Amino acid sequence: MNIQWYPGHMAKAKRKILEELKLVDIAIELLDARIPISSRNPDVDEIVGNKKRIVVLNKSDIADPQLNNEWKEYFEKKGITPIMANAAKGTGLRDILKESKRLMKEDLDRLRSKGLKHKTIRALVIGIPNVGKSTLINKLANRSIAQTGDRPGVTKSKQWIKVNEDFELLDTPGILWPKFDDETVGLNLAFTGAIKDEILDIEDLARKFILKAITDFPDKLYKRYNVELESDSDVECIMNKIGRKRGCILSGDEVDINRTASLILDDFRSGRIGQITLEKPEDIL
C-alpha cells in the first residue's frame, strides 16, 4: 500500500514556521503517544534547531500505559522531559506551563538582573496534522480560539493566542514530510488519521490494521468485536464477521466492507478497541 501525501501547502507551512521561529522562545513539539516514532517529523530537528524544546505525548490516555512509561524513560535518557497529555481533557497542561518556566528561568533571571521586570514567554506549537495542536492551545487558553477538527489540515494560518500574562502560543499548520521511506510509518500515520482518509484505500488500510492487531493485540480485537481469532487468521473472513456483528449489511445480506473498514478505524482512533500503542522504543534502529 503506497502512502504518500505532501501537498503544496505543506511546503508553504514549513517555510512559514521557519520565519516565525525567530519570534518564539520555546518550541512545543506535539507527538501522538500511540506512534511516537511515526508522528515525529524528521524535519523538526532541522526546523527547530537550537530552540528550547518541550516534547508532549498527546492522546496518552488511549495509548498503552506500560508503553507510555517506556517512552517516558526513552526521552528522559535523551535529556528531554516528556509530558504525557490528553489535550481534549486538559491533562498535562499545567506540566507544560511549568516546564516552559523551568526552561526559561535562566533567561528570565538574566533579564530581571538587567532591570526588565516582565517578559512574556512565547512558544510555538508544532507537529503533524491531527495530533491535537489546536485542541491543546484551546485548553491552555481556556477558550475556543484555535481552529480544531477531527481531520487533518484544519489549521490554515498563523494565530497568536494569549494563555495568560506570562505565556503566549503560536498555532501552526500541521506539516508532514515529503516522503515516507518506511512503509510502516505511512501506515501508522494512516491508522491514526494523520493522513486524510479521502486519499487512502480505507478497506485495504483496515485489512492491514487487522493483520497488525492479530499479531500485536489480538485480545483487544476479540474483546471489542467478539470474533474468534485463534482458529481464523483470514483477514477477509474477520472483516466479514465484524461487519455482520455490527450490522454493516447491504441489500442481499452482503457485508458492507467499506462501512466495516471505517468502523474499525474509527474504533481504534477513538480508543474504543482499547489503549493501544503501535510502536515501542526498541523499534528505533
Question: Is the alpha carbon torsion for 35, 199, 202, 224 positive or negative?
Answer: positive
C-alpha–C-alpha distance, residues 208 and 246, integer Å? 20
Residue 80: what pLDDT? 85
Q: Tell me how many degrees the CA angle 264-266-271 measures, rounded to the nearest 5.
A: 100
Q: What is the pTM of this model?
A: 0.85
| Kind plus residue range of the DSSP H or E element containing 262 | helix 257-270
Cell 482512533: give the residue. 269
- Strands 159-164 and 167-171, by their bridges, are antiparallel
Domains along the sequence of the chain with CATH: 8-171 (3.40.50.300), 201-283 (1.10.1580.10)
Residue ranges of the binding site: 58-61, 130-135, 174
Residue 153: what pLDDT? 46
Q: Model confidence over 64-122: pLDDT tens digits?
A: 999 999 999 999 998 888 999 999 999 999 999 999 999 999 999 998 888 887 788 99
pLDDT at 3 over 70: no
In what side-by-side order are the strands of the sheet with 26-32?
Answer: 83-84, 52-58, 26-32, 121-127, 167-171, 159-164
Q: Which residues pair with 91 in a beta bridge?
A: 86
CB-based contacts of 69: which residues, under 8 Å, 6+ apart?
A: none
Percent pLDDT > 70 in the chain is 84
Which ranges in 119-250 belong to alpha helices (H)? 133-141, 183-192, 202-216, 218-225, 235-245
Residue ranges of the binding site for GTP: 58-61, 130-135, 174
144: phi then psi, degrees, rounded to nearest 5:
-85, 105
